[in-house]
Each structure stands twice: as C-alpha cells, then as structure tokens.
Amino acid sequence: MDRVKKVIPFIIILIISLLAALPVWRNGFFPMHDDTQPTRIFEMHAALKDGQFPVRWVKDLGYGYGYPIFNFYGPLPYYLGAGFMFLGVDALVATKLVITFGMILAGLAFYLMAFGSWGKLAAAIGAVFYLLAPYHAVQLYVRGALGEFLAYAFLPLAFALFSGSPSRWKLVISTFGFAAVLLSHTISGFILVWFIVIYFLVKLAWYLLQKKNIDSFTKLQFVSVFLALGLSAFFWLPAFTEAQLTRVNKLSQGTNDFHNHFVYLDQLWDSAWGFAGSSTGRFDGMSFKIGKLHIIGVMAALVLLVWKRKQRLKVNLTQAILLFSGFILSIVMMLEISRWLWELMPYFEFIQYPWRFLMFACFFGSYIFLILWKQLNLLIRYTTVRYLIGFTVIMAAVIGYGKYFEPQYTNSKTAIDYTDPGKIAWDISKISDEYLPKDFPIPKTRDEVASQDFRESSAIIVKTQDVRSHRLHLSFSAQRAAEIFFSRAIFPEWRIILDGVKVEPEIENGKIQVGIPAGEHNLTVYLADTPVRLIGNYLSLISALVLLGFVIKTRQSR
C-alpha cells in the first residue's frame, strides 16, 4: 500500500503531462512563431553523423552557406532531438518526442525538487500548477520556443539545492539542472544567473551584517553554481565572446527592442488568449497571464503567513521571504516601472521581451503554493479532508488551465517540409539569420542561395570528395592555375590545408575561395576551434569529471 501511495503523485503528473502534450501527436504539425524546430534537429543530427562534437556549425541553414547556430543558440534540445533521430525516427517525430519529454519533465522535476521538504501532496499540487501555468502553453503552442520550453522543464532542478536541507545528491541535481537551463535557452540561463547573483549578494550582505562566517550550505550552493557554469562553458563562453562577429545586434533592435514589450499589470491577471505576437501597448496578440489560480494562491499564502505570524510557522520564514521576493521581482521586471533598470543593466537588451520573466513568475508562484499548503495544514486536522481539498485544487488547475494546451490548428506538414535542402536554404533560413557573420551578404532572392558545396573552374578535375558539415576534403588535378569557390560563409578558424600546408583563404563576398596551382593536389577545408572554444571545451570536461567524482563519492558513502 505504501508503494502505491508513493507512485500515485507520479501517475497523476504523468497523465496530466501526456494530456497537455497530446495535441502535438495529431497528424501533421501546428503553426508557431519559431517554425524551425524540426529543421534544427535535422541539422544537429546531420552534424553529429559527420563527426562534429560539440556541434557549432550546420551545413544547410544560412542560405546554404552554413550557419554557426549552435555556437550561439542553446543546443541541448537539439542534441536530445538528434538522439531520437539516431533511434530511427524522422525529424518531425523527434521534435514531438522532445516536446513530450519536456512536458513530462516540467512536472516531475518540480515534484522531485519539492517532495522531500514539503511532502508528496504539496509537491504534487505545486507540480501540476507549474506544469499547467498558461505561459507554459504559450511557450509551446503559441511561440514554439523549444529552447525556452525545455529550460522551463529543467528550472526546478536548478533550484534543488536551494530547497530544503543540503546534500551531495542535491548538489549533483542542481548543477545538472542549472547547466541544462543554460544549454537549453541562453536568455533564460542569463536571467537565472541574474537571480542567483542577487541571492548570493543578499546572503553575503547578511553574513557581513551578522559578522558570521559563510555556512557549509551556502558553500555547497557556490560550488554547484560554478560547476554548472563550468559544465556549460563549452557553449556559453564562445557564445558570449564571439557574438560580436555576427549580426546578433538585430535581436535587440526594431520590433525586438525591449522598450516596446513591457506588460501592463492587469495583463498579468487576465489578457486575451491569442496566437499572434507581442506588440507595443495593449495591442498584443498573445496572452501574458500568470494564471488567476496562481495569483489567488500567492495572495492566500501571504494572508495566512501574516495571520499565523504569532504562531509556530510550518515554513522557513527566510525561504518564504525569498520566494515572495522572487515572485514580486519577476512581476516588476515585466512592467514599465523597471525601464530604468533595463537601460542600466548590461546585456539586458538581448532579453528582448520583458515578459520572458513570466517563466520565473510561474516558478515562484507555483512554489509559493507549497507555503500555502503547509499553512493550510494548520487549519485542517483530518488527512482525508486534506487529500480531498488537494484533489479539488488539482482539478481546478486542470479545468481552468487545460484548455490553453491546444494549438490554433493542425496543418498537414510532414518531415520533408522541414528537411528538404531547398526549403532549408531559403524558406527556413529566412526565419533566423542573425548568427551569420557581419560581413556576409544576405541573399535577397532564392536564386542567390547556395546550390552546391563548392564550385571549381573548368581546369580542375575532381577525383574524390568527402563533404561534411564542418569539413570538406577534395583530391583533384589542376591543368593550370585555377580557383575553387566553397559555399561556406567565412567564420573564425576555417582552415585550409593544401597538400599538407596551411594556406590563407581569399574572401569573396563573405565566402571562402582558394587559389590552386597547376598539378595534383589534396585540399582540406575544416572548421577548427578558436582558443576561446578550446578553453570552454576543457572547462566543461574538467567540470564533468569533478561532478562525476561527486557522484561516485556519494554512491560510495551510502
């Protein structure tokens, strides 16, 4: 019977997760703001098959001239999708599997973070509220933001070491969760780092005021954060330092300027559901609601905390203050009153949309439900009544929020619509080209996209060729001095080796061109790592080994 009680919360969360993801599995797919996800998974899979790891460059995007997307855009969802493709499914099915995985993980991760300190019923309620928060539906069925959607799923794990008593296993889980957020969605990871920095600054100030030494719990949290940063350094270090080489500034300009996307306070309570985008003023085509049940729960928890302040609290007051502060700060950062802070803080313009703080408002709001439940336990004596109320609250969330987990409509697209080379090189490349090199001329028509990997003059006879996403090798004879033009956008550390000797490329309209003398030749063009990329790779490797050591030591001590 005890085993049955233990698995019931998992079963409830699993069923609700699958119902929320069920519309994804209809024939075809559905429209979304970022309708590139199956293509990115397809390109990741192709790059891994080519032997590239970590993947930084894909071949077909960038108008067929290659695209360093995974040097700058969170790669974890696409590694996961590529893993599913290696099992034999196509890119569209792999995308649906990643979505389903993310939906299940969001609820289970929250439950695993919370149940040890708050109990199974409280953790299950919080998990359902986190899983069914309206913004979670916006991420998937409106925006199609796969990276942010997966970051949402990993976020509770990042806070595992910040919830309840410390342990080595929590350090491992928290490190993995934090790193996974950074690797899933760069912007969400940046916001998370911002919250963590504030947390540590507040703690440090408290220690200084109290003239106390830093306790072991805080030290463990420091270790976890630095390990997570190290574990993900192979990605964020080059992404941060090499971004200025690209057209990334367009992400914070024009319609993406954060000044145009502050939210009105009443929109957080209720705003019309829609499938269009964010715009200036109140004319938004999408909803920014936190969820009425979430807000009511937060207010009720606050009332109960104040009402019971003279009695023995069943929650840690410091933790409660931090959670309420996180919730309020998330709201403030979405409102016009925080404009001065957005203009003051470095790199905040790349967040683009202040309403991205909704992810954290949903997390803190769902967590505060645990406080509410703990306080309600002071008033409810009978266990049966508690479970009935808990079930009622869960059903209220399912009924109130479940309707949002539905796409606008289902189209008849198949995998080929996302993996056809011609469509990738033009239709899909146009959706996202901000990571192309600054000096690369953007094609204006379909005729300007690359139609082949290289083009040689008539004096060159190619004998063998090996073409991969990050490497091209040719064996050929040149009857006279000639040139070979490669359909690869120039980017740091494209190296050219002609007959074992490194040569400098000629740059023609932002693309690689190599002069060839007469004779028999072997030519290799490949993308190497810059010093920053190498440093990031080694930091990640060292951090992974340290984390593995923690796991082994923890298992041995059991």
Q: Could you tell me the CA-to-CA distances from 444 to 35, 298, 429, 448, 462 in Å, in that order? A: 21, 51, 12, 7, 31
CA distance 220 to 226: 10
CA distance 263 to 274: 15
pLDDT at 309: 58
pLDDT at 31 over 90: yes
CA distance 8 to 120: 9
pLDDT at 1 over 70: no
Section 477-506 average pLDDT? 90
Give me the residue label for tokens 């959670």.
323
Q: Could you tell me the CA-to-CA distances from 555 to 4, 37, 116, 169, 458 in Å, in that order? A: 27, 38, 19, 9, 65
pLDDT digits (tens, 9 = 90+) for 74-112: 999 999 999 999 999 999 999 999 999 999 999 999 999
Higher pLDDT, 161 or 138: 138
As a whole number of Å, the CA-based R_g of the chain is 26
Three-state DSSP class for 474? strand
Record the tokens describing residue 179, joined without a space.
Answer: 């790193």
pLDDT digits (tens, 9 = 90+) for 347-367: 999 999 999 999 999 999 999
- pLDDT bin (cut points 50, 70, 90) of residue 456 is confident
- pLDDT bin (cut points 50, 70, 90) of residue 2 is low
Which of 108-112, 490-494, 502-506 is predicted most confidently?
108-112
Record the tokens describing residue 57, joined without a space.
Answer: 């460059």
Section 146-158 average pLDDT? 97
Indicate if the alpha-carbon torsion angle 355, 359, 365, 368 is positive or negative.
Answer: negative
Q: Which residues of 78-108 are buried (b: 16+ CB within 10 A; e: fewer)?
A: bbbbbbbbeeeebbbbbbbbbbbbbbbbbbb
Please state the φ and ψ torsions of residue 41, each to the nearest 5 degrees. Answer: -65, -40
Section 270-282 average pLDDT? 89
pLDDT at 27 over 80: yes
CA distance 169 to 25: 35
pLDDT at 251 over 60: yes
CB 82 within 8 Å of CB 33: no
CB 88 within 8 Å of CB 116: no
Higher pLDDT, 400 or 166: 400
What single-letter amino acid sits at 233?
A: A
Give me the residue label for tokens 């932002």.
510
- CA 82-84-87 angle, to 5 degrees, is 115
CB 239 within 8 Å of CB 261: no
Give me the residue label for tokens 């009978």.
382
pLDDT at 404: 97
pLDDT digits (tens, 9 = 90+) for 192-212: 999 999 999 988 888 888 777
Q: Which domains does the chain have, with CATH numbers?
A: 2-404 (no CATH), 454-527 (2.60.40.1180)
pLDDT at 326: 96
DSSP per position, 353-405: -GGGGHHHHHHHHHHHHHHHHHHHTTT---HHHHHHHHHHHHHHHHHHHGGGS
Helices (H) and strands (E) counted in the chain, each on its own, are 20, 9
CA distance 128 to 398: 8
pLDDT at 529 over 90: yes
Record the tokens describing residue 358, joined without a space.
Answer: 């909704």
CA distance 155 to 172: 14
Three-state DSSP class for 130? helix
Section 383-400 average pLDDT? 90
pLDDT at 141: 97
CA distance 521 to 144: 47
SS3 content of the chain, % helix, strand, coil (to 5): 60, 10, 30
Percent of the chain exceeding pLDDT 70 equals 97
pLDDT digits (tens, 9 = 90+) for 297-332: 999 988 887 776 555 556 677 788 889 999 999 999
- pLDDT bin (cut points 50, 70, 90) of residue 127 is very high
What single-letter amino acid sits at 253?
A: Q
What residues does 489 pair with on adjacent strands? 511
37-49 and 91-118 helices, crossing angle to 10°: 100
Three-state DSSP class for 311? coil
pTM above 0.85, yes or no: yes
CA distance 401 to 3: 30
- pLDDT bin (cut points 50, 70, 90) of residue 120 is confident
Nearest alpha carbon to residue 368 among 312, 324, 317: 324
CB 358 within 8 Å of CB 332: no
